Structure 1
Amino acid sequence: MRRLTAACAVLGALALVAAACGSNTPSGGGTAAPKVYNSIGQGEGALKLIAWNGYTEDGSNDPNYDWVHPFENQTGCKVSVKYADTSDEMVTLMRQGGGSVYDGVSASGNATNKLIAGGNVAAIDPALFPEFPNVISPLQPATGTNNSHYVVNGYVYGVPYMYGPNFLMYNTNLVKPAPKSWDITFEPTLNGKPNPYAGKLTAYNDPIFIADAAVYLKTHNPSLGITNPYELTSDQLDAAASLLQTQKPMLAKYWALYTDEIDGFNNKSIVAGTAWPINLTYTKDSAPAAAVIPSEGVTGWADTWMISANAPHPNCMLEWMKYTMEPKVQAEVGVWYGAAGSNTKSCDLIAKSLGKGGAQLVNSVEYSFCGNVDFLNSLYLWRTPQAACGDDRGNTCMDYSVWSQKWTEITGA
């Protein structure tokens, strides 16, 4: 990234706490560069976060899982959290009050690029975070092969947290044989007969789910020429939307809150559908469930803690970002959430925490094959669709606003 240096401005003779040093001098070409935090000052005593459920456990759900209170004791930063069910909700929350309400967010790739493009989040100097060298190689800021969701134009917007796939979860007693393809969720007929699981399927309620349909079509309708599920022309997007319209009557319901899918598996109203690792972790405790990576491949997510460009408590946020990169913290999150930590040193800690059989579990789909570079590179990580296709097609791809409109048409929302 471009290393920008600037002295912290004096906030005033009566100021009790100095804000984190940052700079936003113009870059070459006359465009305004983002604010870049390049030092951490005295904490402000408070921290306001937006997060996915399960990412900021404080012991209230289970006293054995608490990484919030140790942070508060260590830094003096009192944490408050607003949970969101979708990336769109996170973006809306981050933009409240011109970005001055919340300090940061655990954003997935379908939110990060919107926040970056909107100037809602600041860049950081990776040198502030000593655990960066231990981040799995595809997510490394300078050399990563799967980092475009948080590294843009050489600037690093946040720190990697957890990652995982959107796999196919199914009831092992009712879905037989074990599925190998997404066809059981998309096709009205299987082997010339009506789909036996129609009416008991589920799908994620978010425009980004269009990419899952595109992944399926990439294999089963190659004439469409889909190369990347987030870079869809009008015809390709229409084909994905048509597939989802065909799927809709076969769904018991869409889910956004992960417990909705867990409840469906428990009461047997749902027998198969797309799921996150946390869904499997807590479904298998009370229902016969397993997960598979279908032959067509899967989308996925790599979540990033990002700091607001107008954070009210920037020093506490930077401290939180540094803290969440520690392997012990990511291991706790991994066990609770069922995901892989971006810090590769967390993988052995996850295995140890799982006890007997932990080494096998951590190297399975349930824990995202923690530390496996090839698996991470195989995921079509969520990112914000943009008009620029990223290839010689130019600006002929459909951006997120068009995806959102299509999703509304599909779901009837």
Structure 2
Amino acid sequence: MLGGLAAGAGLSLLGPMGRASAAVSEIVWATWDSNGHPEYVTAFEKATGTKVKLSFLSSEDAQFAALKTGAASDWDVVNPSLNQARRYIKAGELMPLDLAKVPNLAHMYDVFKATEKVKGEDGQTYAIPYLWGLNPIVYRSDIHTEEPTYSTLFDPKFKGQLAMRDYALESIAIAALHIGIPRERAFLLTSDELAEVKKALIAQKPLLRTYWQTIGDLTNLIATGEVTAAFSWRVPYDALKDKMKVAMAKPKAGIMGWCDCFAIPASLPEEKVETAYKFADYLLGADYASTIAEIGNYATTSSIIRDKLTPEKQEAIFVDDLSVMQNFMWPEAPENYSEWLKVWNEVKAA
């Protein structure tokens, strides 16, 4: 169904893209491997005659450093996260965007359309959110008969079966939610609040099977029954849902959201700029949305195909109930993040 939708609707939505960009034989897209499988960009290549060369990122910091030092001068379009976009903007690494050249922005969900995180102090927009998801609690539904909350990850009843990510920003914020700090302030903790969070995390530590570092390791721990609930990415659920009883919880206290953005390096040669805009429009169009929903179980920031998806697929990519967006928390390092890192290191050393 998704393939037919892409073929029937997506190419027509490329509209003015046509063959006008055929003069540009190739563009290089720096992105994550989960966002840029070759089949995700096939329709763009066929419609424009422009090859999309994929350059996979190792980390956000590495992407920023490569732009800052000029080490990635061959990148034509890049992939800052929504929460880190301002770092790139302040450093002058991104080109201000002419949004009139991205018609599919009209289909963007309001929560992404309204974000200020992609704007500079000059009021101009420098990045476009295009792909999003949420980081749930993945759990064994045959063991946890009630949907877990963040407090489940601190429950002595499940000692030895729990896991947290080895990442100060998210783990400290989760502990803050657990002790009752509202989500609006979960990334704005005072020194006194950090001290209380530290106590909660130290009390939690003996209950954990591990602090996971790679999602593959966590998936294996859930598969073997060593972990029954963990703050996670969705990967273990997708890998194990047909093999065992697993589910994803979306805590009402606040859902950790992630969002990737399209951006153009400030140094992009003028002759490639129009093709870059066409690619931005493609990322918000039906072809990309359909293919990445079918293969990757991810949703774009555009509603362009939502109402044509089956209820099962809508649920799989978290667009069945759009009220979930009202509970989004976008992890963002606070100004006192050095204090957070100190607390996290002390917790792990305790």
Residue 320 (structure 1) aligns with: 279
Taking structure 1 as the reference length, what is the TM-score of the superposition?
A: 0.69
SS across alignment from 2:185:
coil
Amino acid at match of 1:235: D
State the distance in 1 between where 2:346 and 2:77 align.
Answer: 32
Residue 250 (structure 1) aligns with: 207
State the distance in 2 between where 1:311 and 1:346 align.
Answer: 31
Q: Which has the higher helix share?
A: 2
Verify: 1:150 aligned to 2:107, yes or no: no
Residue 13 (structure 1) aligns with: none
Change (3 A) 1:401 1:170: same
SS across alignment from 2:34:
coil
Verify: 1:380 aligned to 2:339, yes or no: no
Residue from 329, 336, 350 that aligns with 2:295? 336
The 8 Å contact of residues 94 and 105 in structure 1, kept in 2 or not, is answered as no
State the distance in 1 between where 2:109 and 2:339 align.
Answer: 33
RMSD: 3.0
State the distance in 1 between where 2:172 and 2:118 align.
Answer: 19
Deviation at 1:126, TM superposition (A): 1.0
Q: Which runs of 5+ in 2 are unaligned?
A: 1-19
Change (3 A) 1:257 1:126: farther
The 8 Å contact of residues 164 and 231 in structure 2, kept in 1 or not, is answered as yes
Deviation at 1:159, TM superposition (A): 1.8
Deviation at 1:270, TM superposition (A): 2.2
SS across alignment from 1:184:
helix
Residue from 157, 160, 163 that aligns with 1:202? 163
State the distance in 1 between where 2:50 and 2:77 align.
Answer: 17
Deviation at 1:233, TM superposition (A): 2.3
Change (3 A) 1:309 1:401: farther
SS across alignment from 1:176:
coil
Residue 309 (structure 1) aligns with: 266
Residue from 359, 367, 372 that aligns with 2:317? 367
State the distance in 2 between where 1:102 and 1:404 align.
Answer: 32
State the distance in 2 between where 1:275 and 1:231 align.
Answer: 22
Where relative contact order (Cα < 8 A, 6+ residues apart) is larger, the structure is 2
The equivalences for 1:131-150 within 5 A come to: 131-140=104-113, 144=114, 147-150=115-118
State the distance in 2 between where 1:111 and 1:314 align.
Answer: 23
Change (3 A) 1:309 1:98: farther
State the distance in 2 between where 1:335 and 1:239 align.
Answer: 43
State the distance in 2 between where 1:221 and 1:267 align.
Answer: 33
Deviation at 1:95, TM superposition (A): 3.3
Amino acid at match of 1:288: K
State the distance in 2 between where 1:115 and 1:130 align.
Answer: 24
Residue from 99, 111, 133 that aligns with 1:164? 133
Deviation at 1:135, TM superposition (A): 0.3
Matched pairs, number: 326
SS across alignment from 1:208:
helix
Verify: 1:55 aligned to 2:35, yes or no: yes
State the distance in 2 between where 1:104 and 1:240 align.
Answer: 39
Residue 395 (structure 1) aligns with: none
State the distance in 1 between where 2:61 and 2:348 align.
Answer: 16
Change (3 A) 1:241 1:47: farther
Residue 4 (structure 2) aligns with: none
The 8 Å contact of residues 177 and 186 in structure 2, kept in 1 or not, is answered as no
Verify: 1:347 aligned to 2:306, yes or no: yes
Amino acid at match of 1:126: L
State the distance in 2 between where 1:316 and 1:409 align.
Answer: 49
State the distance in 1 between where 2:256 and 2:176 align.
Answer: 8
State the distance in 2 between where 1:149 and 1:94 align.
Answer: 19
State the distance in 1 between where 2:273 and 2:339 align.
Answer: 34
Deviation at 1:331, TM superposition (A): 2.5
Residue 294 (structure 1) aligns with: 251
Percent identical residues? 19
Deviation at 1:290, TM superposition (A): 0.3
Amino acid at match of 1:221: G
Taking structure 2 as the reference length, what is the TM-score of the superposition?
A: 0.80
State the distance in 1 between where 2:82 and 2:348 align.
Answer: 22
Residue 232 (structure 1) aligns with: 189
The 8 Å contact of residues 29 and 52 in structure 2, kept in 1 or not, is answered as no
Residue 37 (structure 1) aligns with: none
Deviation at 1:42, TM superposition (A): 7.3
Residue 73 (structure 2) aligns with: 100
State the distance in 2 between where 1:404 and 1:118 align.
Answer: 24
Residue 115 (structure 1) aligns with: 88
The 8 Å contact of residues 161 and 227 in structure 2, kept in 1 or not, is answered as yes
